[in-house]
Amino acid sequence: MLSKAVQDAINDQINKELYSSYLYLAMSAHFESVNLPGLAKWTRVQAQEELGHAMKFYDYIIDRSGRVNFQTVEKPTSEWKTSFEVFSQVYEHEQKVTASIYKVYEVALKENDYATQGMLQWFISEQVEEEKNASEIVAQLEMIEARDTAILMLDHRLGKRGGEG
């Protein structure tokens, strides 16, 4: 059984994951409106992934005989000037999500809830990947803004090389 403190922290995290899904869906709609279907697809897939994260937390509360309590999901931003602005926000947002998951972990640690600490390890590893992906996209968009697109084309070509070592 979950302690009230752990249950409340996870319920709060569910809200944050649902907001993340809304935010990425808003970004996808923005990219569709400016005829960038590839960026729209990436952010739409990200929205689905964030919804999946919310459901993992949801299922975990249920599995531990807890109670899921939904909160109002904040309306996300829906207007951006550039793709760089969008992905800068993606990176900042993922850093906030990481910090939020660390807070849930701290509650589980304080409550001696070893099962929740173990479950959260998956999310901690996931956030390392999320931040890495976002920071790489921001760096590539910075290159594009600097008109250094040739290096991106070369990087893409070299990245197709097969084999390890």
Residue 145: per-residue pLDDT = 79
Q: Is residue 165 part of a domain?
A: no
Q: Is residue 138 part of a domain?
A: yes
Q: Is residue 122 part of a domain?
A: yes
- Please, what is the Cα angle at 35 between 34 and 36, to 5 degrees? 100
What CATH number is attached to the domain comprising 25?
Answer: 1.20.1260.10
Residue 163: per-residue pLDDT = 66
Mean pLDDT by 10 residues, the chain (165 residues): 97 98 97 92 96 98 98 95 94 98 98 98 97 94 77 68 64
Q: Is residue 86 part of a domain?
A: yes
Residue 148: per-residue pLDDT = 67
Task: Look up the domain containing 65 and give its range.
Answer: 4-70+77-158
Residue 127: per-residue pLDDT = 97
Instruction: Quote the number of domains for the chain.
Output: 1
Residue 146: per-residue pLDDT = 74
Dist. CA 45–CA 41, nearest whole Å: 6
What is the 3-class SS of 111-145, one letter each residue?
CCCHHHHHHHHHHHHHHHHHHHHHHHHHHHHHHHH
Q: Is residue 32 part of a domain?
A: yes
Residue 164: per-residue pLDDT = 61
Residue 57: per-residue pLDDT = 98
For residue 22 the two structure tokens come to 């809304």
